[in-house]
Amino acid sequence: MTPPAEKPLSLPKEPSRRGLPSKAGRARAPRMAEVVAASLRDAILSGELTVVPRLEDLVEQYDVGPPAAREAMRILETEGLITVRRGNVGGAEVHLPTNARVAYMLGLVLQSSQTPLSDVGAALQELEPLCAGLCAERPDRAKVVVPVLRQAIADQEAAIGDSEATLLAVDRFHGAIVDLCGNETLRQVVGSLERIWATHQSSVYGTREEVPPASVWKAAVQAHTRIADAIEKGDAKVQSLARAHLVAAQSYVSDVDAAKKVTAAIVGNAGPA
């Protein structure tokens, strides 16, 4: 079956003279494959393109040779924006970027530099409290932020004694603080760090045989409740509360394996976010 026709994309007649840096430091004119990839990338990210045309259609549409069109597809596939369909059907399936992909790529970078998990924790101790402060500044926090936090706390309290269910509720609480802070850049950057930390934390909990006493579970619930209360009141002190809670919570993971390094595979195996 022939894929549905897409809205034609316009390709600049002349490649942009704002080229890419060369080894000598001078800008170089982009190759046609890069120009085609850039045009398709923009269309995908804007939502204009949901199915990439077949190779022969790209050749005709962009007036380029098959090698250039094929390389453009490889560029986008490497970036994770498309999955090329092989065989008679041809074309490619489009994938919009997700926070899970960002977290995985960041995990690769951190693993390549042998970054300890404690380094991620230290970053979160600085950044998540900032998100909590922004949540407290939202004029609509009582309707948008607080109910989500209260539900996560209720789920966490109901799950006391169940490590897996507790971790899910805890992740929802911390994730909500980041997701609802109102700053998209922080949401993506800190959200990626949250995912890296949460997936490693689950791995650490899985290696610990004894179940923490009820007092530990209840203390976490109380800390989350204080943070939610401060956000509801619009109290700027929520940043101090959030930071103190993170320091205490992260010490549990550090006690298990203080030398643990970031491993991208753990992040990638967590599934979609």
Same domain for 86 and 133: no
Element (H, E) at 82: strand 82-84
Average pLDDT over residues 78-106: 83
Is position 251 within any domain?
A: yes
Same domain for 128 and 74: no
Q: Point out the domain boundary residue: 38, 64, 94.
A: 94
pLDDT in tens, 69-90: 999 999 999 888 998 877 666 6
Higher pLDDT, 139 or 79: 139
pTM higher than the cut 0.85? no
- CATH number of the domain enclosing 72: 1.10.10.10
- SS3 category, 27: strand
| Contact criterion met (CB below 8 Å) for 190 and 128 | yes
Q: Point out the domain boundary residue: 47, 68, 94.
A: 94
Same domain for 216 and 151: yes
Q: Point out the domain boundary residue: 94, 115, 132.
A: 94
Is position 273 within any domain?
A: no
Which whole-number Å values give the CA distances from 168 to 158, 184, 223, in the listed order?
Answer: 12, 23, 17
pLDDT in tens, 233-248: 999 999 999 999 999 8
Domain count, the chain: 2
Q: Which residues of 53-87 are buried (b: 16+ CB within 10 A; e: fewer)?
A: bbbebbbebbebeeebbbbbbebbbeeebbeeeee
Same domain for 230 and 260: yes
Q: Which domain holds residue 250?
A: 99-268
pLDDT score at 5: 47
